[in-house]
Amino acid sequence: MTTASPALPSTEVHCAQCGGLLHPDEGQIFLTCPYCSSSVYLDKSKVVFHWSLACTVAPEAARASLHRWMAGNQTVKDLDRKAKLVSATFQYFPVWYCKARNTAAKEQVYLEPAAAISISEIKSLAIPAGDLQKYEAGLDSQAVAPSVPLPAMLQWLAGRGVAGEQITEAALVHLPVYLYKYEFGGKTYTAMVEGASGKVFANIFPAKAEAPYFLVAAFSLLGFLVISAIPLIGYALGETAGLAVGLLVMLVLAVIFAVPVFALAAYISSKV
């Protein structure tokens, strides 16, 4: 995909793998090395490897993942039935993939979106290194061109305490993603299904209201506190015998009290 990316510096460009001299066309950013056939990406600052992740999740399976997530516990009840799907698109989305050695000499992978996306959660995706494959030109028509330069990624890493010399590898990875827009309660939301794992990502979604659950929790805590004071009262009234009666009353009341608490919790979870 050749987009309106600024012209590359006139300095010579070398392959990230074999060091061979590359001759990109004007504006060309995705390139295959003519000597070693590596796929590389020409960032303004550097030539880096260019990988992709194979899409193994078919559109129907991705849709099914989305529905399972909508029907799940995180989202508002019956979202799978109440939400209206507005659009579904498939694309290869670019992320910066950086490996860095931390102080314990352990390697850690960092991901950052390399183009604008409302789903920043994408950075929490785990990419098994063995799944990375050479980016092929055949993906160009579905690939989003990076708009975030590599130095911006390096700056993010520096902000997280990862210095430049700790970085052992920097690459551009195009991830297969299904993007869905859906409407619920007069608002439009975006959810993403990653096409290699089927995992659902969404930053903002109609969530279950938590306040009613906190209320039930507070109510039951208060109730059990009061009930647990009964043996003390019994003890105050009649020492050992009073304590025994108090304990018995406490047990009975606790069991009885548990019924409305569970009923209330069940009622709320059927509504929220």
From candidates 2, 3, 9, 20, binder to Zn ion by CB under 5 A: 20
Tell whether residue 128 is a contact of Zn ion (CB under 5 A): no
Cβ–Cβ < 8 Å for 94, 174: yes
Q: How far is the CB of 38 from Zn ion (least distance, A)?
A: 5
Tell whether residue 33 is a contact of Zn ion (CB under 5 A): yes
Question: What own/partner pairs with CB < 8 Å and gap ≥ 24 does 111-114 have?
Answer: 111/173, 112/148, 112/153, 112/156, 113/148, 114/146, 114/147, 114/148, 114/153, 114/172
Contacts of 216 (CB under 8 A, 6+ apart): 261, 264, 265, 268
Q: How far apart, in Å, are the Cα atoms of 260 and each of 113, 120, 210, 228, 263?
A: 48, 42, 19, 17, 5
Q: How far is the CB of 114 from Zn ion (least distance, A)?
A: 22
Side-chain-side CA neighbours of 172 within 13 Å: the count stands at 32
Q: Which is nearer to Zn ion, 20 or 72 (CB)?
A: 20
Tell whether residue 117 is a contact of Zn ion (CB under 5 A): no
Q: Which is nearer to Zn ion, 20 or 238 (CB)?
A: 20
Q: Which is nearer to Zn ion, 137 or 248 (CB)?
A: 137
Amino acid identity of 158? A
Q: Which is nearer to Zn ion, 39 or 190 (CB)?
A: 39
Q: How far is the CB of 209 from Zn ion (least distance, A)?
A: 56
Tell whether residue 42 is a contact of Zn ion (CB under 5 A): no
Q: How far apart, in Å, are the Cα atoms of 196 and each of 5, 39, 55, 152?
A: 28, 20, 5, 26
Tell whether residue 36 is a contact of Zn ion (CB under 5 A): yes
From candidates 2, 3, 9, 35, binder to Zn ion by CB under 5 A: 35
Site string for Zn ion, 164-203 (x = CB under 5 A): ----------------------------------------
Binding site for Zn ion (CB under 5 A): 15, 17-18, 20, 33, 35-36, 38
